[in-house]
């Protein structure tokens, strides 16, 4: 708990943290309101529609999870999170929890404001959702958490936020889409290990992940656990070996 408080004070004292949170909240608010353009007010606006901007917000989360911790690393690993050798990994974990928690709260706040905005425009919001709709909403949050975690761990492993952010964007926007379309066995096999695809499979099932997905929810969850665990181990070794000036 002490680590959480120290990380919360440190992160929320940075202007860049509030900027990323504002961008996330604004995206979750504005995009659903834009979707109402040209729509009939007689038809209710589905609550699940407020999460259609999740893929756009995912890119913001990836950059935020990489750039905010990375702003200290570029100074030669002299950040406050390295002041105690014994607690370095615990501090990094607390930083991850606080940062992703802040992003999720900002997104949820943006949805709440978006609902008020849509209602102010004269639309009704339908909160009666199917099981599939709720799974879709949960999948959006799981994608933010899984890929945000990987982005932050890669930042510490590589020592550069830009490299970590670019790798995650390459995965989310290129590899996840292009590999299944190649029609090659090796490409389809490699696609089974991609984090975004597996985070969707875990929550929504195989059908929601699209073509080229053959593994079930249990296997997808195991792959994510192994991936994050391996990156966490590398990050632990990295932060414990960094010099403190």
For Cα atoms 220, 169, 222, give the angle at the middle one, nearest 5 degrees: 15
Residue 243 sits at φ, ψ, to 5 deg, of -80, 150
Predicted local distance difference test score (pLDDT) of residue 78: 40
Over residues 117-146, mean pLDDT = 88
- Report the Cα 103 to chain-centroid distance in Å: 8
Predicted local distance difference test score (pLDDT) of residue 44: 79
Q: Which of 9-13, 175-179, 200-204, 225-229 has the highest mean pLDDT?
A: 225-229
| pLDDT confidence bin for 145, thresholds 50/70/90 | very high
DSSP for the chain, please give it: -HHHHHHHHHHHTSHHHHHHHHHHHHHHHHHHHHHTTT--TTSPEEGGGGGTTHHHHHHHHHHHHHHHHHHHHTTTS-SGGGS-STTHHHHHHHHHHHHHHHHHHHHHHHHHHHHHHHHHTT--EE----HHHHHHHHHHHHHHHHHHHHHHHHHHHHS-HHHHHHHHHHIIIIIHHHHHHT--HHHHHHHTT-HHHHHHHHHH-TGGG-TT----HHHHHHHHHHHHHHHHHHHHHHHHH----
- For residue 162, pLDDT over 80 is answered with yes
Predicted local distance difference test score (pLDDT) of residue 79: 52
Predicted local distance difference test score (pLDDT) of residue 76: 47
- For residue 154, pLDDT over 90 is answered with yes
Which pTM does this prediction carry?
Answer: 0.88
Over residues 115-144, mean pLDDT = 87
Over residues 155-173, mean pLDDT = 88
- For residue 77, pLDDT over 60 is answered with no
Domain limits for position 75: 2-241
Give the total number of structural domains in the chain.
1
Q: Which of 82-86, 198-202, 239-243 has the highest mean pLDDT?
A: 198-202
Percent pLDDT > 90 in the chain is: 31
Over residues 202-231, mean pLDDT = 82
- For residue 62, pLDDT over 90 is answered with yes
Over residues 204-219, mean pLDDT = 72
Burial of 15 (0-12, 13-18, 19+ CB in 10 A): exposed
Predicted local distance difference test score (pLDDT) of residue 212: 55
| pLDDT confidence bin for 245, thresholds 50/70/90 | very low
Pairing of strands 125-126, 45-46: parallel
> Per DSSP, what are the bridge partners of residue 46?
126
Percent pLDDT > 70 in the chain is: 87
């Amino acid at each position: 708990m002490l680590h959480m408080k120290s990380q919360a004070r440190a992160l929320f004292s940075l202007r860049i943290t509030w900027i990323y949170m504002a961008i996330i909240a604004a995206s979750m608010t504005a995009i659903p309101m834009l979707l109402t353009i040209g729509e009939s007010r007689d038809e209710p606006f589905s609550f699940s529609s407020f999460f259609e901007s999740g893929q756009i917000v995912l890119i913001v989360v990836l950059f935020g999870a990489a750039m905010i911790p990375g702003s200290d690393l570029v100074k030669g690993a002299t950040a406050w999170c390295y002041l105690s050798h014994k607690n370095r990994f615990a501090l990094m974990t607390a930083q991850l929890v606080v940062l992703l928690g802040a992003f999720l709260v900002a997104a949820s706040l943006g949805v709440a404001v978006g609902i008020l905005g849509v209602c102010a425009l004269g639309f009704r919001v339908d909160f009666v959702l199917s099981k599939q709709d709720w799974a879709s909403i949960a999948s959006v949050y799981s994608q933010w958490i899984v890929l945000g975690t990987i982005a932050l761990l890669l930042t510490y492993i590589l020592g550069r936020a830009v490299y970590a952010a670019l790798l995650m964007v390459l995965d989310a926007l290129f590899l996840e889409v292009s590999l299944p379309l190649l029609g090659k066995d090796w490409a389809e096999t490699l696609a089974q290990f991609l984090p975004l695809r597996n985070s969707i499979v875990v929550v929504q099932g195989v059908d929601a992940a699209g073509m080229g997905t053959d593994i079930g929810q249990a296997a997808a969850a195991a792959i994510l656990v192994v991936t994050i665990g391996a990156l966490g181990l590398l990050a632990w070794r990295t932060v414990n070996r960094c010099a403190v000036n």
